[in-house]
Amino acid sequence: MCGIVGIASNKSVSANIVNSLKKLEYRGYDSAGLATLSNNLINEKKCSGRVEQLEKILFKAPAEGNLGIGHVRWATHGIPNEINAHPHSSEIVSVVHNGIIENSNNLKNQLEKKGLKFKSQTDTEVITLLLTEELKNKSPLDAVHETLKKLEGSFALGIIFKNFKDMIIGARRGSPLAVGYSTNENYLGSDSYALKSMTNKISYLDDGDICVLTKDNVEFYDFRKKKINKKVLLLSDDKNIAHKGDYKNFMSKEIFEQPIAIKNCINEYIDKSRDEINFYNFPIKPDSIDKIILVGCGTAYHSCLVAKYWFEEFTSLTVEADVASEFRYRNLKFNKNSLYLFVSQSGETADTAAALDLCKKNGVKTCSIVNVVESSIARNSDWVLPIHAGPEIGVASTKAFTGQMLLLYMLSLKIGNLRGDIERKYYQTKIINLKKLPDLLQNSLKTEDKIQLVAKDFLKSKGSMFLGRGFSFPIALEGALKLKELSYLHAEGYPAGEMKHGPLALIEDGLPVIVISPNDKYFQKTISNMQEVIARGGKILLITDSNDSVISENIRFKINLPHIEKSLSPFLTTIPLQLLAYHVALLKKCDIDKPRNLAKSVTVE
């Protein structure tokens, strides 16, 4: 969630550190800082708030030096302020940290008994003071190695040393960390995106690894301090990924990119001449699978819930969907004949990565569906299915969500076909219908004008409710989540049939209730549930592709979507809900790309 940058160079580094921190803003953060080494002194600059504030500080008091580290912080220990912002420095060492040190209180007590004083409320300062003690009689590499032995929890670290003017040390356990290479300059970063403007040559640290950077050299060591080699990867050249173009913000851009993102993904996986889904290097025999387990967090989990319906419809397999943060703490019964599917936009989601790691240790089949092919989850899975959505900068996921659903839809169809659970003709008809999806998504985006009128109803409401059945139930959950994320308004998603079992008590005059009801087998039941809400004063926004005149009575707003094959309805019903959340947040003047308290890449538990 926090972001780390380090640069060792033959020229001043502070400007490039700031530029790299700006590329890490998408992760979500509440303070920023950097430290450079100059004239044998650690020069630390930091602030609460945005990187722009750090730039103003540096304009008045520049941070000179050819070696430095930077950080954007998402608060875990201690409130967001200048003191708690990173880096955390002593006279001889400065540290930036992404992660959580779970035994920081015990370590802090031990250090205070030795007479050491803490300036901040953070767990990170424990690392700084431990290193300060170890450096009294050890080299930087040995001091880092011994300090890491004492830490429990997750971390990615960037460290500079007063007495070693050309050295940065990085270390990883749990949280992602990458190294970049150039001429007379080498880099450390939380992800490749932060380094992409400076280099396209990247290596990734694995858990337990330590790296030592100078401007001319990079060395890697494993957790035993044994020197190791790392593969150098070449990144693709995406030149325009960080520009909003004519859009107000990245989220609106990404909402309207969905038709082309879906089209790109379809082109990647579907042979249109044969109406065939191509998944190369399929590592499993579908006949050997007896169960599918889908694992994700937040929006990714909602894509898993939708996929559960698809797998149940297109295959004869038993299917479960699990929240990643709960998965590894249960008494699980691992099955060698089960396929475990892990869904994550960033591919670095800590809970999902930990669930994957547990599966790997138990020797079961794993597959990841990610948007970042260089990510930890992708690299650790037996099989990877990229969603090809392109970089998603807005914290609240939009095009990645529809991309995740698309991959899961195609995978459920493919497995059903290979197992003989669905007929070939049925399979190919589904693919033919799928090829129509980009154009239908484009038409769905035309609902924006009406959604802007609807959005005004939410400004004075104390809450809202999203209802759906079948495929539409997970979409109701996702719609409520989007509204919460972007506008900070309370919203809940429910199965429409559950209204009479408690939630109906929340309905009162004027409460906005969004009913998602495509003309499927659940349609009449959902409309009956809607009438129960209307009878109690709820203000209805109905999202449907039905023209049934019966349902128009007493409905405040109705959003008509294009008619689509029923199993594909979640793609279209998602669009107006994304637009609704966006326009409510816009009216409230919220920070749409970087909602408060949230992070794009959730790299801590």
Q: Where are the domains positioned within the chain? A: 3-234, 247-435, 447-591
pLDDT of residue 604: 56
Token pair, residue 76, equals: 């875990």
Residue 576 has pLDDT above 90, yes or no: yes
Q: What is the pTM of this model?
A: 0.78
**CATH topology of 247-435 equal to that of 447-591?**
yes
Residue 50 has pLDDT above 50, yes or no: yes
Treating both helix axes as pointing N-terminal to C-terminal, what angle do 472-487 and 569-587 enclose, rounded to 10 degrees?
20
The CA distance from 401 to 388, in Å, is: 12
pLDDT of residue 324: 94
Residue 137 has pLDDT above 50, yes or no: yes
Q: Which of 2, 211, 297, 590 is catalytic?
A: 2
pLDDT of residue 240: 44
Residue 284 has pLDDT above 90, yes or no: no
Residue 543 has pLDDT above 90, yes or no: yes
Q: Which of 382, 406, 132 is nearest to 269 (CA)?
A: 406
Residue 254 has pLDDT above 90, yes or no: yes
pLDDT of residue 239: 44
Share of the chain above pLDDT 70, in %: 96
CB 6 within 8 A of CB 187: yes
User: Is 600 a known active-site residue?
Assistant: yes
The CA distance from 578 to 584, in Å, is: 10
Q: Which of 254, 234, 259 is nearest to 244 (CA)?
A: 254
The CA distance from 100 to 52, in Å, is: 26
CB 455 within 8 A of CB 584: yes
Strands 270-271 and 210-213, bridge-based pairing:
unpaired
Residue 27 has pLDDT above 80, yes or no: no
Treating both helix axes as pointing N-terminal to C-terminal, what angle do 437-444 and 258-269 enclose, rounded to 10 degrees?
170
3-state DSSP call for residue 321?
A: strand
Class of domain 247-435: alpha beta
Pick the residue with more confidence: 146 or 457? Answer: 146
Class of domain 3-234: alpha beta
pLDDT tens-digit readout, 286-315? 888 999 999 999 999 999 999 999 999 999
Residue 569 has pLDDT above 60, yes or no: yes
The CA distance from 153 to 102, in Å, is: 5
> Alpha-carbon Rg of the chain, whole angstroms?
25
DSSP class per residue in 392-441: --SSS-SHHHHHHHHHHHHHHHHHHHHHTSS-HHHHHHHHHHHTTHHHHH
Least confident of 100-104, 143-147, 478-482: 100-104
pLDDT tens-digit readout, 477-531? 999 999 999 999 999 999 998 888 988 888 888 899 999 999 999 998 998 899 8
Q: Which of 414, 484, 566, 600 is catalytic?
A: 600
Residue 551 has pLDDT above 70, yes or no: no
The CA distance from 413 to 278, in Å, is: 11
pLDDT of residue 1: 55
User: Is 272 a known active-site residue?
Assistant: no
In degrees rounded to 5, what are phi and psi of residue 196?
A: -65, -30
CB 598 within 8 A of CB 395: yes
pLDDT tens-digit readout, 361-418? 999 999 999 998 878 898 889 999 999 898 888 889 999 999 999 999 999 999 999 9
Q: How confident is the model at residue 424 (pLDDT cuts 50, 70, 90)?
A: very high
Class of domain 447-591: alpha beta
Give the H or E element holding residue 68.
strand 67-73
Q: What is the mean pLDDT of residues 45-56?
A: 90
pLDDT of residue 241: 53
